[in-house]
Structure 1
Amino acid sequence: MGSPEKSQSKGFFAAMSSGLSMFSNAMHRSVNGLLGYEGVEVINPEGGKEDAEEEAQRGRWKQEERDSYWKMMHKYIGSDVTSMVTLPVIIFEPMTMLQKMAELMEYCHLLDQADECEDPYMRLVYAASWAISVYYAYQRTWKPFNPILGETYEMVNHEGITFIAEQVSHHPPMSAGHAENDHFTYDVTSKLKTKFLGNSLDVYPVGRTHVTLKKDGVVLDLVPPPTKVNNLIFGRTWVDSPGEMIMTNLTTGDKVVLYFQPCGWFGAGRYEVDGYVYNAAEEPKILMTGKWNESMSYQPCDLEGEPLPGTEMKEVWHVADVPENDKYQYTYFAHKINSFDTAPKKLLASDSRLRPDRYALEKGDMSKAGAEKSSLEERQRAERRTREANGHQFTPRWFDLTEEVTSTPWGDLEIYQFNGKYSEHRAAVESSGSIDETNVESTEFNPWQYGNLSAE
C-alpha cells in the first residue's frame, strides 16, 4: 500500500475539525502542498519481527520478555493503566514525569519573545511554536518514572526561570507545576488518562496549561492533542500525536489552531503541523507550517488563508542540535535536566534527581534500579495505609487544591494553584548566607510525610 497522493491545492487540512466553518475552503488547503513533500520516513505502522529483533539488539528488551509481558498485560485491554500496572524497569528512562514536565522549558525564550511582541498575532506564533517545540523530546519511547506522592523537581540556571513541580495526588496521578521569569509565568495541572489497546496506548492530556505574559497581562490557554504509543510490546515502538492543538488568548479571544497530521503508510504525513492564527472574529491572519521534529515557520495570509503577496515564509523555531547515538535519545537539555547543574542551592530532599531507582538506572545498574523502584512503591503503599489509619489527608507543600473544576475534551479536572510558599522558601535560602556545602548527590531521597515510617 503506497503513500497517499498529495495534491498541489488540497492536503490534510480536510481532516481538521476546528469549528471555523466559514473558512472551510481555506482550511482544506494544505500549506505543505505549496512547499513540496520531502523528508518522508519509511515506517511500517504495524511493526514486525525485524523491528522487534532490531529493538532487542539496541538493548530495549528481549523478545521472550515481551511475550511474557504480553500475557500479563492482555487482561488490561480497554483499561486506563495510568497507575494500576507495575511495569518492568527495563522500559524506563532515568527521568520522572516531573522532569519531563520541565522539558517544555527548553525553548522558553519563545515565550520571552511573545511577551516582548507588540503584534497580538505574532505573539501567538511565538507561543504556539514554544508549545510545539517539546514534541521532539516527547517522541522518545522510554517511559519516565511515575513520581512518588510528595516528590518534587526544581530547576534554575536556565533562561532566568525558576521551575518547581510537585506530585500532588497519587490516585488519580496528578502533578502541578509553576515556572516564572521576568517575562512570563507558567502554571499547569497535569493529569493523564490512558486507554490500553493491546499493542498500543492512547494517552489523553486531561490537564490545564496557562501562560501569563507579564508585559500586557494576557493569559494563554493550551489544549494539546492526544498521543498514541504504537507497537508498545511487539515491533518497533514509536509515538504519534495526531489531532488539534489549540492555544487561545483568553484576554482577547484570538487563537491559533494547529493540526498534527497522523502518520500514514510509509511515514506519509508524519511530523507535519499546519494551521492558522485567527483573530477573535475567527478570521485567519497568519498561516503556520512545519514539522514538530524540525522547525516551524509562518507567513501572513488573507481571509482565504492564502499567503499575502509580497510576503515570505519565515522560520520562527528550529530544533537544537542533539547528541548522536544517545542511549535514551536524550537532547542536550534532557541531560541538563538530569544534572545537578540546574539544581538550586539546598535542593529539596524530595527532588526527582535523588530517587535511588532513577539514579541507579542512569548509572546502568538495572538490577538495583528495579529493587529500588519496588522499595519506593512499597514505601508509598505503607504510608498510604498509615495515612488512612490516622484519618489524614495528604497536603501538597507548594500547591493548593482550589474549588475550581474545569472541563477538558477528555474529562473534568480539579485545579491546583501555586501558593507562593516555594518562592518564600527559595528567597530565604538565598538570603541565609550559610549554604551547606555537603555533596547534594549524597542527600537521601525523602518525599515522605511520615519521616520515620518504614515499609511494611
Structure 2
Amino acid sequence: MASKDQKQGGGFFASIASGLSNFGNAMHKSVNGLLGYEGLEVINPEGAAEDAEEEAQRGRWKQEDRDGYWKMMHKYIGSDITSMVTLPVIIFEPMTMLQKMAEIMEFSSLLDKADECEDPYMRLVYASSWAISVYFPYQRTWKPFNPILGETYEMVNHGGITFISEQVSHHPPMSAGHAENEHFTYDVTSKLKTKFLGNSVDVYPVGRTHVTLKRDGVVLDLVPPPTKVNNLIFGRTFVDSPGEMIMTNLTTGDKVVLYFQPCGWFGAGRYEVDGYVYNAAEEPKILITGKWNESLSYQPCDLEGEPLPGTELKEVWRVADVPENDKFQYTHFAHKINSFDTAPRKLLASDSRLRPDRYALEMGNLSKAGSEKSSLEERQRAEKRSREANGHQFTPRWFDISGEITPTPWGDLEVYQYNGKYTAHRSAVDSSDDLDEVDIRSIEFNPWQYGNLTVE
C-alpha cells in the first residue's frame, strides 16, 4: 500500500494524463518516482570492466571465449541475426523458444480473474498485469534454443490449461501457440526481428497476441515494447524493454497503455512500469504503477488522471518466490516447464523436452550439447533438401496459415491460426483405454515430416 507521503502530489497525474498522443514523453517522469520507490539496483548499462571479470569468473565466459566470439560476430553489426548465425552453446539455456512462449502462462489466474470481472476497466487491469508478469523471467540473459521446424511443446497440469506451440517456419523463424482453459483462449503468432549492434542486440516483436475472454467473448490485442539485450560480450549482460505496451479491447475500444522506463546509469528507472487504463474516448480511468520485477498496483483516477479521493493503491500482482542461486536464473515455473511432470500422456515425439542437445545442456555436458545441436541442424538442412527435391512445402500440423497479413510497428506478419486438431488429438489420447504407457524419457526426438534422413 502507498504511504501517506506517497499519496501526495496528485497534480503530477494531471500533468501526464492530457491524452494518448503525448503519453510516452510524459511518462518519462515516472509515476513510480512520485510514489517513492527506493533501493535501485546498481547497474552500469555500459558494462564496467569489473562486471565482465566477475561474470567470467562465474563460469559463463572465459576471456578468450569473449575475444573469439567478438571476432566472429563483429562482421554482423547492423544485421538481423535471428537465424543466420550459428551460436555456441555456452550462451544457451536448456529451454527452447517454444517453451519460453509457455512461460506467460505462469500467472494465467489473472486472465481467469479478468474473465470473471464485470468491471470493463478492472478487466484490463488484470489482463495487462498478466502481460507484464512474464517480464521477470524474461530478464534471463541466456539464449533459448531455436526450435527445429516442426518441433512442438505441450503443457498440461497448470490451471486447467492445455498449451500447444509449434515451429511453423524456419526462414523466417516463426512459432505459433494456443492455450485454453474454461475462462480464456490465448493465440499467438511469434516472429522476431533483430538488429545486432556489436555488444548489444535490439529485438523487435513482429508478432500478434490475442486473448479471448470466454464469458463475454471479449477479444484483447497485445502489442509489447521492443527489447534490448545489453553487454552481450563485454560487461554485465542485462535485458531492458523501454517503450510502450498497449493492450486493446477490440470489442469496446478501451485500452491500457503502460510505459516501461529505460535503464539509466546506476539502474535509475529500471524495472519501472507506469500507465493508465483508458476508455474508448481516451479518458483515463485507472492508473497502474509498479515494477515488472516486483509487483503492480492500481488506483482509480478522475478524468485528469489524479487518484480519486478516498482511494488507495491496491496490489494486483506480485512476483513469485524464486529458487536461490539457480544456475540459469530459472523460476520454479521455468523448472516446471522443463519437467516431464507437466507433460501430457503420450507426449508428442516432436516435443522440446526430448531434444538431446537441450537435455545434454541441462545435465551440464556442453560438448555433447554442441555436437547434438549441430547434428539436429544438419538433419534440418537434409530434410529441407529432401522436401525441395520432391517439390513439397512444409505443412504445420496444429496450425494453419490464415492468409491474413497483419501490420505491426516493425513489419508485416503472416498470421497462423490454431486449427483445433490438437484438441481432438489430446481428447482421443486421454480417453483411450490403452494403458500401455511408454517411458517418456525413452522417446526419440522426432519433429521430421520426412523420415530416413541421412547426415551428409
Partner of 1:199: 199
Q: Secondary structure at the match of 1:37?
A: coil
Q: Which amino acid aligns with 1:76?
A: Y
TM-score by length of 1: 0.95
1:61-101 residue CA offsets vs partner (Å, 9 max, x unmatched):
10111101101101100000000000000000000000000
Kindly indicate whether residue 400 of structure 2 is the aligned counterpart of residue 400 of structure 1. yes
Question: CA distance change for structure 1 residues 12 and 168 in 2, over 3 Å: closer, same or farther?
Answer: farther
Partner of 1:351: 351
Q: CA deviation at 1:14?
A: 9.1
Q: How many angstroms apart in 2 are the aligned matches of 1:331 and 1:18?
A: 38
State whether residues 26 and 306 of structure 1, in contact with CA within 8 Å, keep that contact through their aligned partners in structure 2: no
* Alignment map for 1:304-383 (pairs within 5 Å): 304-383=304-383
State whether residues 27 and 274 of structure 2, in contact with CA within 8 Å, keep that contact through their aligned partners in structure 1: no
Partner of 2:4: none
State whether residues 82 and 194 of structure 2, in contact with CA within 8 Å, keep that contact through their aligned partners in structure 1: yes
Kindly indicate whether residue 163 of structure 2 is the aligned counterpart of residue 166 of structure 1. no
Q: Secondary structure at the match of 2:415?
A: strand
Q: How many angstroms apart in 1 are the aligned matches of 2:173 and 2:269?
A: 33
Partner of 2:267: 267
Q: How many angstroms apart in 2 are the aligned matches of 1:16 and 1:358?
A: 47
Q: Which amino acid aligns with 1:309?
A: P
Q: Secondary structure at the match of 2:317?
A: strand
1:317-355 residue CA offsets vs partner (Å, 9 max, x unmatched):
000000000000000000000000000000000000000
Partner of 1:292: 292
1:23-67 residue CA offsets vs partner (Å, 9 max, x unmatched):
899867642233113021111111122111111111111011110
Partner of 2:222: 222
Question: CA distance change for structure 1 residues 52 and 436 in 2, over 3 Å: closer, same or farther?
Answer: farther
Q: Which amino acid aligns with 1:304?
A: E
Partner of 2:5: none
State whether residues 262 and 269 of structure 1, in contact with CA within 8 Å, keep that contact through their aligned partners in structure 2: yes
Partner of 2:239: 239
Q: Secondary structure at the match of 2:198?
A: coil
Partner of 1:76: 76
1:173-226 residue CA offsets vs partner (Å, 9 max, x unmatched):
000000000000000000000000000000000000000000000000000000
Question: CA distance change for structure 1 residues 168 and 14 in 2, over 3 Å: closer, same or farther?
Answer: farther
Question: CA distance change for structure 1 residues 347 and 32 in 2, over 3 Å: closer, same or farther?
Answer: same
Q: CA deviation at 1:435?
A: 3.6
Q: CA deviation at 1:382?
A: 0.8
What are structure 1's unaligned runs of at least 5 residues? 1-6
Task: Give the % identical residues.
Answer: 85
1:291-338 residue CA offsets vs partner (Å, 9 max, x unmatched):
000000000001111100000100000000000000000000000000
Partner of 2:125: 125
Q: How many angstroms apart in 2 are the aligned matches of 1:134 and 1:51?
A: 26
Question: CA distance change for structure 1 residues 197 and 69 in 2, over 3 Å: closer, same or farther?
Answer: same
Q: CA deviation at 1:454?
A: 1.8
Q: Which amino acid aligns with 2:391?
A: G
Kindly indicate whether residue 279 of structure 2 is the aligned counterpart of residue 279 of structure 1. yes
Q: Which amino acid aligns with 1:20?
A: S
Q: Secondary structure at the match of 1:188?
A: strand
Q: Secondary structure at the match of 2:136?
A: helix
Kindly indicate whether residue 245 of structure 2 is the aligned counterpart of residue 255 of structure 1. no
Question: CA distance change for structure 1 residues 26 and 154 in 2, over 3 Å: closer, same or farther?
Answer: same
Q: CA deviation at 1:17?
A: 11
Q: How many angstroms apart in 1 are the aligned matches of 2:228 and 2:19?
A: 21
Q: How many angstroms apart in 1 are the aligned matches of 2:436 and 2:267?
A: 53
Partner of 1:4: none
Q: How many angstroms apart in 1 are the aligned matches of 2:27 and 2:380?
A: 50
What are structure 2's unaligned runs of at least 5 residues? 1-7
Q: How many angstroms apart in 1 are the aligned matches of 2:395 and 2:49?
A: 48
Q: Which amino acid aligns with 1:368?
A: K
Question: CA distance change for structure 1 residues 24 and 411 in 2, over 3 Å: closer, same or farther?
Answer: closer
State whether residues 298 and 315 of structure 1, in contact with CA within 8 Å, keep that contact through their aligned partners in structure 2: yes
Q: Secondary structure at the match of 1:298?
A: strand
Question: CA distance change for structure 1 residues 313 and 276 in 2, over 3 Å: closer, same or farther?
Answer: same
Q: CA deviation at 1:287?
A: 0.1
Partner of 1:39: 39
1:387-417 residue CA offsets vs partner (Å, 9 max, x unmatched):
1111100000000001100000000000000
Partner of 1:447: 447
Deviates more, 1:444-453 or 1:147-156: 444-453
State whether residues 19 and 283 of structure 2, in contact with CA within 8 Å, keep that contact through their aligned partners in structure 1: no
Q: How many angstroms apart in 2 are the aligned matches of 1:17 and 1:94?
A: 46
Q: How many angstroms apart in 2 are the aligned matches of 1:49 and 1:12?
A: 40
Q: Which amino acid aligns with 1:443?
A: I
Q: CA deviation at 1:153?
A: 0.1
Question: CA distance change for structure 1 residues 342 and 25 in 2, over 3 Å: closer, same or farther?
Answer: closer
Q: CA deviation at 1:8?
A: 6.2
Partner of 1:420: 420
Kindly indicate whether residue 173 of structure 2 is the aligned counterpart of residue 145 of structure 1. no
Q: Secondary structure at the match of 2:386?
A: helix
Question: CA distance change for structure 1 residues 15 and 364 in 2, over 3 Å: closer, same or farther?
Answer: farther
Q: Secondary structure at the match of 1:432?
A: coil
Question: CA distance change for structure 1 residues 392 and 18 in 2, over 3 Å: closer, same or farther?
Answer: farther
Q: Which amino acid aligns with 2:418?
A: F
State whether residues 244 and 260 of structure 2, in contact with CA within 8 Å, keep that contact through their aligned partners in structure 1: yes
Partner of 1:178: 178
Q: Secondary structure at the match of 1:427?
A: helix
Q: CA deviation at 1:10?
A: 8.8
Q: CA deviation at 1:437?
A: 2.0
Q: Which amino acid aligns with 2:93?
A: E
Q: How many angstroms apart in 2 are the aligned matches of 1:342 and 1:219?
A: 28
Partner of 2:91: 91
Q: How many angstroms apart in 1 are the aligned matches of 2:134 and 2:24?
A: 29
After TM superposition, which residue ranges in structure 1, 4 or more long, deviate above 6 angstroms? 7-18, 23-26
State whether residues 16 and 259 of structure 1, in contact with CA within 8 Å, keep that contact through their aligned partners in structure 2: no
State whether residues 192 and 205 of structure 2, in contact with CA within 8 Å, keep that contact through their aligned partners in structure 1: yes
Q: How many angstroms apart in 1 are the aligned matches of 2:24 and 2:162?
A: 42
State whether residues 12 and 30 of structure 1, in contact with CA within 8 Å, keep that contact through their aligned partners in structure 2: no
Partner of 1:3: none
What RMSD in Å do the two structures reach over aligned CA positions? 2.0
Partner of 2:3: none
Q: How many angstroms apart in 2 are the aligned matches of 1:29 and 1:239?
A: 21
Q: How many angstroms apart in 2 are the aligned matches of 1:285 and 1:239?
A: 31
1:272-299 residue CA offsets vs partner (Å, 9 max, x unmatched):
0000000000000000000000000000
Question: CA distance change for structure 1 residues 206 and 399 in 2, over 3 Å: closer, same or farther?
Answer: same
